[in-house]
Chain A
Amino acid sequence: MNIRRLILVATLLLLAGVLPAVAQKIVLSGYVREAGSGEPLNGAVVFTADMKTGVSANSAGFYSIEVAAKEQVIKCSYAGYTTAEFTITPKGKNLKHDFLLEEDREMLEAAKVFSKSKREQLTLPQLGKETVTADIIKKVPALMGEADVIRVIQMLPGVQTPSEGSTGFSVRGGGIDQNLVLMDGAPLYNSGHFLGFLSMFNGDAVKNAQLYKGDFPASFGGRLSSVLDVSTRDGNKNKFEGNVSIGLITSRAAVEGPIVKDKLSFMLAARRTYMDVFFPIFGKNIPKNTQMYFYDINGKLSWVASPRDRVYLSVFSGRDVFGMSMEDFDLDKMKFAFANNTQTLRWSHEFSPKLFFSATAYNSRYKGGVDGAMSVASWTYTSALMETGLKTGLTWYINSSNTLQAGIDAAYHRMDPCDVSPEGEESIVQDVHLQRTYAVAPAVYVQNEQKIGPLTLRYGLRAGTFTTLGEADQKYYDPETHDLAETVHFEKGEAIKTYFGLEPRFSASFSINPDLSLKAAYSRSFQYIQQVPISISGSPIDAWFMSSPNILPQISDQFSAGLNALFAGQALEFSAEAFYKNNANTMDFKENPGLVFDDAEREGLLRFGKSYAYGAEVMLRYEFNRLSGWLGYTFSRAIYDIPELNGGKPYRSPLNHEHSVNFVLSYDITRQMSLSADWVFYSGAPTTFPVGRFSYGGTYASLYSSRNEDSMPPYHRMDLAFTYKDRRRAAGRPGGCEWNLSLYNAYSRHNAWSLAFLYNRMEEKPQALKVYLFTIIPSLSFNVYF
């Protein structure tokens, strides 16, 4: 890819767009908010009545649109809300107007939930973007009744679940670590509770989530496969409201309201599981002193500091604990604990009706640990990741044809791979402290969205560097033998290695008619912090690596193309996309890595190569009065080609299912009762079965042929949910209550979580043992709103 040529073309296009801009126009700007709560409506569309000009509100709800200086009606719409109108008069000066959208009481819930894609969205030069709102999250049946944004994400084409129950996800054949998961702008390095069975996102706190499957705007960087940008609720600026939910294993509470009406609001949401409270009922079947719980708390303050300034403070804290003692195994204590904490401070400022600025400072910390005590060995093991950063972005609404965005990002990373300390004076465990690693990653970006008749272009460039810093004893491994070649000491703050990457992004949309558009995109991404799974499915103890002298950053080039079409009076929306990804510097552990937590030579265990993935996704969304949902199909193939593995032969990614089908529907029986269901099918994930066995020292071991040439059994599952609302709730009046009954895995299929090949010494024969996690899981929750 000739970067210089791209920059030249982009500059010419930008000039071509700016120069024809002439007078006789005015700028209308302001915010789009929900009338009841004052919550900004990110993604609301503001457009002229003739639909020739339109813009989307940004994450703060801000919009700016340049229109002809004549008397005309400007409309604003958002799914599930009535369309608002504002008439402008030709006074020849810029206007400000905030659109307050009323919830559409006439529309049934089902239609409201899935009504996302309209004509206005068709023209956006954005492929592979999906928006999930709180309404959708609460509608889709969930594991253990916990509304979960990632469960919904996993139902979208191109997104796959690596293993039963996991909240990790693979996008277009990519690794779990290749997803940038953001909570109000702060990255989450582990987004799962309960070893990944539930996500960190509390359905009561989430406002919406945007998933970008490869065609990232230039403002995002650092990951190859996707960006999941989750925003939490700002809090109602007009009145207090909240809800309490009591479930079988989890209870939640959320409250929000104004501190200063129309100026300062808060949101507080918390939940905790209490599964361990019931353990005594199971008696001796549960190990002694078993603890199993998680909790998380979301808090947010939202302040309208002035008509032009907004300030947000968002905090999140989540913690998982899983502990027990097992006397039969000489285990006095074993406690796993994982904690995520994020803090985000965001300021947005409107310099002028055409110039919008935002700055986000964030801190994210993930810490995991295992405390154990066995006989005279007691220890504490911890590992931690921390990222602190600042993101700034400037949006210039140049004219009705051009919107320019530019920004500067900077992040500071710190990684504590492993600290093992003895607990107590009698413990024979030795101290192990693996070296802490540091890095800084500044980046700049610029991007323009340009409309040329039926063609809408978005082109941009992101330039970033990543520098690992001392103090460190940097190990250098021989690239051929992988043996330790030398160790060099670097002083505190001294640069060890710097990588530089240019990431061009380009996408285009061509409207053939108002109901049909063609789209294409190309993007290049760099990833400097990566996780190489120790395990097949990914787990909280998997190792993260920073790019270093031994580890090159991963680079991905993705090409995609597709079409969007509306049918049946916009009740049906069809989309199809094909993609091809080519990744460089893909890494995997060597065969038989023999990994342990505290392996100081981990970088020497890595092997490098390339990978590629290709596939196609089709989706049909349907939206009728009572019935709505979607049907999706994905074909995807992901191949690793690492010369030192699998005898030099390429092999399939263990995370990728070649065929997957997702079906989601929501049906309103009456205004008070609704039924929703989903069904998912995956072809079996690639795996490696043994072909033979041999004996060594009286113990059997397996012989394998080629890596991942076999497949797990196919996976399929249906979930059902039934919701009953009282009349007050159904009518949309404040207060009320609702019951939710859900069945996860409704027909109780024993989907394989794993296959274990074991020699049964009692029967003296080898066996394949299927391990499955769930049969049918019913759950019931009662929600009270006030």
Chain B
Amino acid sequence: MCIFKNKLFAILLIALLAASCTEVVDIHTKGMDRHYLVVEGMLTDRTDMRQKVQLTGSVDYFEPETPPAVSGARVAVSDGESTVEYTETPPGSGCYIGPEGFCGTPGGTYTLTIDVEIDGEQRHYEASSTMEEPGFADAEVDYMYAGKPEMHIDSLWTVALWGRDLPQTSYYYINSRLNDAVFPMQLSLSIDDKYFAGQKVTCFPVTTLAQTGLRQKMYGDCAKYLETGDVFTLYVYTIPKDYYDFYMGFVSSSVGAAIPLIQSQPSNCPTNIRGDYAAGYFVACSSTSASVVIDQPLRPFYKKLLGF
């Protein structure tokens, strides 16, 4: 239900905006006393990727610049016994990469340490996260035709997830890749497993894929069209509840549309980064993945569903 309710809110918001009027106004905000360090760190158990920590800064709200990369930091991750240093790659990018082959293990607790100079002062930050055992098993991904002839859309699919939610309470973060790249307009979704309730998960809708038409209409030039033979991979990460809370807070503050009927009190999203003026999160998470090859627009299984 979570997805549908989010969509429901979005539709309500659109309806309200359509019924009202808007205008851009000049608002004076007082700006920040000091700049923040923003940490975007994820440590997984995947060996097919390099572990990464992205460091950026913050800017005053109406400052036109994009937040700068934070370069020259010392970034290290420790499992309590050994410490690995991350290397900024490429230099000046603020992207710090772990050594080849380095990954986490479910059950392990990992501590991220950052030493960096911001605003001319030396700052020290720490964050810890415990990698939980995977809470989701036997993952499969498939897609179903969801278009309607009257909509004049060449093809529109709903991607759904199958699998088994294990008995322990878990929270999930889902993202996806198309072939070797992060899927454009990627799905990043956090799910409370109360929606699965320790049961077999059948046909949990995750996102919508479109080949042309609607996708282009909605996303313009940034849309990448699916082609036959594309490999779509879904990653289901088991995340700590704290990261789930962070993610939901982040979504709330990133939407930022202050529609009184549906917006709660604005506040900073939570963080597990210890140290002054810090935002973002460092999370250790185990993963399960499943792939599907886009073979034909309308698959036989769904013909039956649609009554063809």
| A interface residues, Cβ below 8 angstroms from B | 163, 195, 287, 324, 326-331, 334, 370, 372, 374-377, 379, 420, 426, 428-430, 432, 534-537, 539, 588-589, 591-598, 600, 646, 654, 687-697, 699-705, 707-708, 710, 713, 750, 752-759, 764-773, 775
Contact = CB atoms under 8 A, between A and B. Distances in A.
Given A694-B56, A701-B269, A537 B264 contact: no
Given A375-B205, A689-B27, A692-B36, A654 B265 contact: yes
A429 B261 contact: no
Counting chain B CB atoms within 10 Å of each CB, which of A428, A592, A775 scores highest? Answer: A592
B272 interface: no
A592 B8 contact: no
B11 A326 contact: yes
Contact of A705 (B15, B30, B57): B30
Contacts of A754: 258-260, 263
Closest 7 CB pairs of A and B: A592-B249, A594-B248, A537-B260, A591-B267, A768-B27, A539-B261, A701-B254
A218 B214 CA distance: 62
B121 interface: no
B65 to A, nearest CB: 10
Given A374-B7, A694-B279, A591 B265 contact: yes
A703 B265 CA distance: 13
Given A375-B158, A704-B268, A334 B11 contact: yes
Contact of B252 (A594, A708, A759): A594
B64 interface: yes
A372 B11 CA distance: 11
* Interface class of chain B by DSSP: mixed
B21 A775 contact: yes
A483 to B, nearest CB: 9
A169 B249 CA distance: 29
Interface of B: 1-2, 4-5, 7-8, 10-11, 14-15, 17, 19-27, 29-32, 35-36, 38, 40, 56-62, 64, 66-67, 144, 146, 148, 150-151, 156, 158, 188, 194-195, 202-205, 208, 214, 217-218, 245, 248-254, 256-270, 279-280, 305
A365 B7 CA distance: 29
A596 B1 contact: yes
Given A376-B205, A379-B4, A594-B252, 6 more contacts: A591-B268, A593-B264, A690-B61, A693-B67, A701-B250, A752-B25
A273 B4 CA distance: 30
Contact of B31 (A327, A691, A704, A707): A691
A692 B31 contact: yes
Given A536-B258, A595-B264, A766-B61, A753 B1 contact: no
B25 A770 contact: yes
Given A692-B36, A757-B61, A597 B264 contact: no
A704 B265 CA distance: 11
A252 B151 CA distance: 41
Contacts of B67: 693-695
B4 A374 contact: yes
B1 A768 contact: no
Contact of A694 (B4, B58, B248): B58
A82 to B, nearest CB: 48
B17 A771 contact: yes
A329 B11 contact: yes
A334 B5 CA distance: 11
B305 to A, nearest CB: 7
A581 B278 CA distance: 38
B258 A757 contact: yes
27 contacts: A330-B146, A331-B11, A375-B146, A376-B144, A377-B4, A428-B203, A428-B205, A535-B263, A536-B258, A591-B267, A594-B252, A690-B29, A691-B61, A694-B59, A696-B250, A696-B254, A696-B279, A701-B254, A703-B36, A708-B265, A713-B25, A755-B258, A757-B256, A757-B258, A765-B64, A770-B23, A770-B24
Given A327-B151, A701-B269, A695 B66 contact: yes
B227 to A, nearest CB: 22
A707 to B, nearest CB: 6
Nearest to A699: B254
Nearest to B248: A594
Given A428-B205, A705-B30, A769-B24, A287 B15 contact: yes
B259 A771 contact: yes
Counting chain A CB atoms within 10 Å of each CB, which of B25, B253, B270 scores highest? Answer: B253
A452 B138 CA distance: 83
A376 B251 CA distance: 25
Counting chain A CB atoms within 10 Å of each CB, which of B21, B150, B250, B267 scores highest? Answer: B267
A97 B58 CA distance: 79
A331 B40 CA distance: 35
A301 B58 CA distance: 67
Nearest to A195: B261
B59 A693 contact: yes
Given A591-B267, A592-B249, A334 B258 contact: no
A771 B22 contact: yes
Nearest to A700: B254
Given A600-B194, A772-B21, A536 B263 contact: yes
Contacts of A700: 254
Contacts of B11: 326, 329, 331, 334
Contacts of A324: 15
Contact of B188 (A326, A697, A702): A697
Contacts of B36: 692, 694, 703
A770 B62 CA distance: 15
Contacts of A756: 22, 256-259
A761 to B, nearest CB: 9
Contact of B61 (A329, A376, A702, A707): A702
A377 B151 contact: no
B30 A688 contact: no
Contacts of B32: 691-692, 703, 705
A588 B250 CA distance: 20
Contacts of A596: 1-2, 5
A598 B194 CA distance: 10
A490 B194 CA distance: 23
Contact of B38 (A372, A420, A696, A704): A696
A535 B261 contact: yes
Contacts of B263: 535-536, 754
Contacts of B188: 697
Contacts of B25: 713, 752, 755, 768-770
Contacts of A704: 253, 266-268
Given A689-B29, A690-B29, A694-B56, A430 B195 contact: yes
A701 B20 contact: no
Given A429-B4, A756-B259, A771 B58 contact: no
Nearest to A370: B8
B8 A334 contact: yes
Contacts of A708: 265
Contacts of A697: 40, 188
B194 A592 contact: no
B177 to A, nearest CB: 14
A692 to B, nearest CB: 4
A328 B279 contact: no
B64 A768 contact: no
A696 B158 contact: no
Contacts of B56: 694-695
Contact of A372 (B4, B26, B144, B261): B4
A534 B261 CA distance: 8
B17 to A, nearest CB: 7
B1 A379 contact: yes
A329 B36 CA distance: 37
Counting chain B CB atoms within 10 Å of each CB, which of A539, A693, A750, A754 scores highest? Answer: A693
Contacts of B251: 594
Contacts of A591: 249, 265, 267-268, 270
A409 to B, nearest CB: 34
A594 B269 CA distance: 11
Contacts of B66: 695
